[in-house]
Structure 1
Amino acid sequence: MTDGNELSGWFGRFRSTRRFARLRKHPVAYFCAEYALDPRLPFYAGGLGVLAGDMVREAADRELPLVAVGLRYRLGYYLGESPASASVGLEAVLDAKGDRLLVGVPIERRIVSVQAWRWRRGTVEVLLLDTDLEANAPTDRHIVDRLYVDDRQVRLEQEVILGVGGLRMLEALGVSPSVYHLNEGHSAILTLELTHRLMCERGLSFDLARQSARSLTVLTNHTLVPTGNETFSNDLVSAILVRYAEELGVPVSELIKLGLVQESSIFSMTMLALRMSSHVNAVSRLHAEKAKEIWTSHPMETITNGIHLPTWNLVGDDVSGAGDLWRAHQERKGLLLERVRKETGRDWGRDDLLVGWARRIVSYKCPLAVFDDLHRLAGLARDSRRPVRLVFSGQAHPGDGEGQNLKAKLMEIIDGELSDVAVFLPDYGLLTAPTIVAGCDVWLNTPIVGFEACGTSGMKAALNGVLPCSTRDGWMAEATDIGWMLDNENVGSNFLDVLERDIIPLYYCRDENGVPVKWEGNMRHARRTIVDRFGAGRMLKDYIEMFYLRSRGLE
């Protein structure tokens, strides 16, 4: 499935332009801390990585010259992930002599050697950096072991490797990008390295080079949640960047100033990225509005996230006839129910109403919201004429105590009072998500409004005819005509009201062939909405028009 002829025509025309020809020589450089490229590669934690993976796939489909840069995490994000798969589909980046291509990155007073691995798709390549080299000290070999490691010094070292090492690796490969796209602030230090390069190449002062670097840099912010916006103590940043500042020939205090949170001794990667980017976007309209309240001096444009339609269209394209989409959905539902049976022993019927909640388990996503009145929920679910079943799935970061407690409480409720009508499926990720997002009938989304910058799991579900039931947060505030909207103040009770009054009666209203005709009509509308407005092709077009073509590098 694609976004349609109009969008394909736009990309076709763009590929014939002078600016596209320049992109062939000077591609977009896309930096992100995580990428969901393959279920076997443990290089992502959640939505940011999945979005980056979809961006890479869409750019390849549209033949956009783009090189992405990230880190090759040997142990991934969640405890228990095997390092054995961390090179699947990757090839080592070699120099002209056939040896590993290495670059040096100053950290504290030492130089850390960095190598790269390449993942290809069409016109796009992803370069993944690591430090697991015999030339490095034992501790330095493990800098890039784990994604979003808790240790603050190692985390900062990772971000220096990503920003400085990433740009130096591109330079060593002879890649001279026209624009640098920071997908979140984790790679913001690359703006300092870009400044450094411009000082050397053009003989500019630090201030002039900084302004020039800013004109080549754009930023996408994905979260307003404090844990998603990296901060470090000034003392730690000063210690890590001391030798690097000497290379630039400027006091380390000048570098710190660019990321300093006003009236504090805190260095913010987000503030550095905001100050060093010529264009900044939020990933939904509501996100942009909320961001104004936090970063008053840095207004954000809106480019709402989108999903890679060919990857997430699991019901197929042959669903245009009456009843076709419903039958295709029932096949996907059967796969989910089979997994439920194998993993939990629950043998539910294919006609049972199936409600799903699956995502990273953190407090603002409110996984326990629908359990405020367990007695009422259980009563609705156990109606033998119109049963309701609930599927939950998700993971919490090992270092997130609150998230781990939420997961434990969620499983306690499911294994206790709701054991016959609800299940928890472990190991939610790129391999298992397709079964869940396409197999439920209703996709439940319960974040506190203003905290979910966008959220794309509901897009994937709706593309497959799964109807959303959500608070008005993120992208759902732009698609209120599909599914059901929940009251932010009383999510639990409002969900039960909507479930009893609207969802259950509509789902169980069937024709003589057992097809819920009105329900299927809503499924088609939801699917069409995603194709028309929330595909990654539209998102990529927005980035090209609003960001890349406005960069000085493509003038």
Structure 2
Amino acid sequence: MKNNMNIALVEKIPACHPQNYEIFLKFADFLKRPVIKEKITPQHPWVCFSNEFGVSDLPAAGGLGYLAGDWVHLSARLGIPFMGVGLYYKTRWRQDLDRNFYQIEHIHHSPHPSHFQFTKLKTDKKHYLIYTYRSHPFATPIEIFTKDIKGNLLIMLYEPGIRGLYEGEKEDEHRLYQSAVLGFAGIHALVSLGITPSILHLNESSTVIAALALLDYYCNQGSSLEQALKMVREITVFTNHTLSPVAEPFWRLDQIKNYIGTNLRCPDVKAWLCDFISKQKTGVCFFDLAFLLAGRVNAVSKIHALKAGQAFGRNFYSITNAVSFRWIYPDILDKYKRKNILHPLFGTLESGYKNKIRTLNLQTMLSIRKKAKRSLRKILKKEWFNQYGQNVIIPPGARIAVWARRFDDYKRPFLVFTDTDRLGQILEKYNIYFLMSGRAHPRDKIMKKKMAEILTKINENPVLKKRVFFVKNYGWRLAKPLVTGADIWINTPRVGMEACGTSWEKAVLNWVLLSSTPDGGAADIFLDGRYKIDNPPFFLIEGENDDSLAAQSLYKNMERMGEVLDDKKAWYKAVLRQLETFLPIANGPGMMSEYLKLGTNNFGQ
């Protein structure tokens, strides 16, 4: 049996030293928080563990992964010393539809990490993940790959047995194995690189083994359990994206012993973990372990913090998800900069930004929007396929409405198709083409069936068959042209179910009309008292969780948005009001400043 008693020495240490480090030092002063630049340095970076990073063509299932990708991009832009640690998955899948519109998956192997410019980290000794499967012990070597992102590092852990992202059911034992690899091999990689994190950032509870592995490492370096626990809690931030306790997997004691206990070396840590397990009645939930090891826990919107606190009986700090500038159409971003709406160096909002937004020129905005739509139509026609296996063709001059996100029941993809005749009338009257895109989890038979039912409805309606296209294989390559080229963005989650959602934020920043329920980040403005629910700055979908009422409200909104698109001045007024309202919420550098403050607060604040 192999063991991990000796920490490997690297031949070359790729230093975490961001190219824009001077910007970071100025940013800390700008925030009037010099402690940030004292605590976060190239030797002590912000280290984020995440199951998915929406960058470099790596697989991402949804908002959690694209948010992590935005952290990578924003930290590089701001010069924040940052490292991301994730898994390089062996398999991926492409979405297709059978003749009955039922989703089928084409599984294929990922190219070698070097294909995406990842370089193998050479060490004198490999790290082995030790586990027991069917009473037999195994020791699997884990390879470490790194990629330079403007001086920061993205670390991918790899071995051929790591299958796909979120493969199987939520309590599939392979997911526990993946969590063990990410945590133990990830901390090993940091130690090998000579890195001590200033912030250990856990992007959802499945990454908590990283904090446990760090606790074990500190104890093995001579710290007492009490000292090690304090050290881990002082630097650990846990970001939660899950509103329902039911969504969290529970692991049996034997599973924890087989995959986690086998990799712990310190007897005190093993005893501490056993004591924790003994107090759990229904199995081990990583959320509870994360809450125990993290000194700071945050939700990703105000309503999420409220709802999660009620669901889990815990207190949550609120940092609403925002987006990086990579999602903004270049000409639009240029206008934000030229009008001094955004800080020229940091990208945060400038004082008086509302008045500056109002100086945007209508004709210039319309010209840019026309260009962005033309780009979307071109990409759809050339690269993307609809439910019939044909390229997606949108006629010039037509309006484009979009519903695009992970295909999940609480997101209500079916809502707009409640009354297909009325939908068809709206699309024809206002010359709208409706694009839908999203992937159901391969094991989610219910949502795959609902997808087929929706597409069958479309196929049976002559108007919808002509004007509604399901674009297959939704991902970041499709998301970007959609959020920049659409006229209307539709966001339909059940109220109280969406942690935040960021696709609507991206659309709003690109001057797209928004129709949404008051949920996730869109509800921030109501909870902080800036707006009343009866005077929303966007096209609010009423009816909350009554699907019938919400559908009728959505249809009225689509009619109103169609009329607004026909009236240039009304469109201008609506877009500016959305921008004034949501630019502070969706501003990525502003979000990063909140994480920097949270991560460097004195423990317990």
For the aligned pair, the TM-score class normalised by the smaller chain equals: 0.7 to 0.9
What does 1:412-491 align with in structure 2 at a 5 Å threshold? 412-417=456-461, 418-479=464-525, 481-487=536-542, 488=544, 489=546, 490-491=549-550
Cα distance change on mapping 1:458 and 1:325 into 2, 3 Å: same
| 8 Å Cα contact 1:283-1:302 kept in structure 2 | yes
1:173 aligns with 193
Task: Give the Å deviation of 1:531.
Answer: 3.7
Query: Does the alignment pair 1:115 with 2:143?
Result: yes
Q: TM-score, normalised by structure 1?
A: 0.87
Computed over aligned residues only, the root mean square deviation of the Cα atoms, in angstroms, reads: 2.7
1:137 aligns with none
What does 1:252-291 align with in structure 2 at a 5 Å threshold? 254-258=272-276, 262-264=280-282, 266-291=283-308
Query: Does the alignment pair 1:53 with 2:69?
Result: yes
Task: Give the Å deviation of 1:398.
Answer: 1.3
| 8 Å Cα contact 2:92-2:108 kept in structure 1 | yes
**Is 362-371 or 148-157 further displaced after alignment?**
148-157
Amino acid at match of 1:308: S
What does 1:88-167 align with in structure 2 at a 5 Å threshold? 88-95=115-122, 102-108=126-132, 109-132=137-160, 142=161, 144-150=162-168, 152-167=172-187
What does 1:159-308 align with in structure 2 at a 5 Å threshold? 159-204=179-224, 206-226=225-245, 228-245=247-264, 247-250=265-268, 254-258=272-276, 262-264=280-282, 266-296=283-313, 298-308=314-324
1:250 and 1:367 map into 2 onto residues whose CA distance is 49
2:111 aligns with 84
**Is 234-243 or 161-170 further displaced after alignment?**
234-243
Cα distance change on mapping 1:530 and 1:122 into 2, 3 Å: farther
| 8 Å Cα contact 2:120-2:143 kept in structure 1 | yes
2:588 and 2:128 map into 1 onto residues whose CA distance is 35
Task: Give the Å deviation of 1:457.
Answer: 0.4
1:249 and 1:262 map into 2 onto residues whose CA distance is 20
Amino acid at match of 1:221: N
| 8 Å Cα contact 1:73-1:86 kept in structure 2 | no
Structure 1 regions of 5+ residues with no counterpart? Answer: 1-5, 133-141, 510-515
Task: Give the Å deviation of 1:313.
Answer: 3.4
1:318 and 1:536 map into 2 onto residues whose CA distance is 16
1:311 and 1:85 map into 2 onto residues whose CA distance is 27
Task: Give the Å deviation of 1:352.
Answer: 2.9
SS in 1 for 2:435: strand
What does 1:487-498 align with in structure 2 at a 5 Å threshold? 487=542, 488=544, 489=546, 490-498=549-557
1:3 aligns with none
Amino acid at match of 1:145: R
Task: Give the Å deviation of 1:545.
Answer: 0.9
**Is 110-119 or 441-450 further displaced after alignment?**
110-119
What does 1:495-506 align with in structure 2 at a 5 Å threshold? 495-500=554-559, 502-506=560-564
2:514 and 2:77 map into 1 onto residues whose CA distance is 28
| 8 Å Cα contact 2:235-2:599 kept in structure 1 | no
What does 1:511-530 align with in structure 2 at a 5 Å threshold? 516-530=568-582
Task: Give the Å deviation of 1:508.
Answer: 1.4
What does 1:384-403 align with in structure 2 at a 5 Å threshold? 386-403=430-447
Task: Give the Å deviation of 1:37.
Answer: 0.9
Amino acid at match of 2:577: H
Amino acid at match of 1:434: K
2:299 and 2:312 map into 1 onto residues whose CA distance is 12
Query: Does the alignment pair 1:70 with 2:86?
Result: yes
Amino acid at match of 1:448: R
2:192 and 2:391 map into 1 onto residues whose CA distance is 55
Amino acid at match of 1:497: K
SS in 2 for 1:37: coil
- CA offsets per residue over residues 343-370 of structure 1, 9 Å max, x none? 4466544433321100110111110011
Task: Give the Å deviation of 1:101.
Answer: 6.3
Task: Give the Å deviation of 1:186.
Answer: 1.3
| 8 Å Cα contact 1:118-1:128 kept in structure 2 | yes
1:508 aligns with 566
2:50 aligns with 32
1:440 and 1:349 map into 2 onto residues whose CA distance is 13
Identity percentage of aligned residues:
25
1:139 aligns with none
Task: Give the Å deviation of 1:68.
Answer: 1.2
Cα distance change on mapping 1:86 and 1:483 into 2, 3 Å: farther
SS in 2 for 1:34: coil
1:323 aligns with 363
Q: TM-score, normalised by structure 2?
A: 0.80
Amino acid at match of 1:26: H
1:450 and 1:158 map into 2 onto residues whose CA distance is 30
- CA offsets per residue over residues 280-332 of structure 1, 9 Å max, x none? 00000000000111111x20010011100244334434553231112211222
Task: Give the Å deviation of 1:103.
Answer: 1.6
- CA offsets per residue over residues 416-468 of structure 1, 9 Å max, x none? 31101211111111111111111111100111111110000001111100111
1:371 and 1:532 map into 2 onto residues whose CA distance is 33
- CA offsets per residue over residues 23-73 of structure 1, 9 Å max, x none? 22211111111001123x33x211111000000110111111111111111
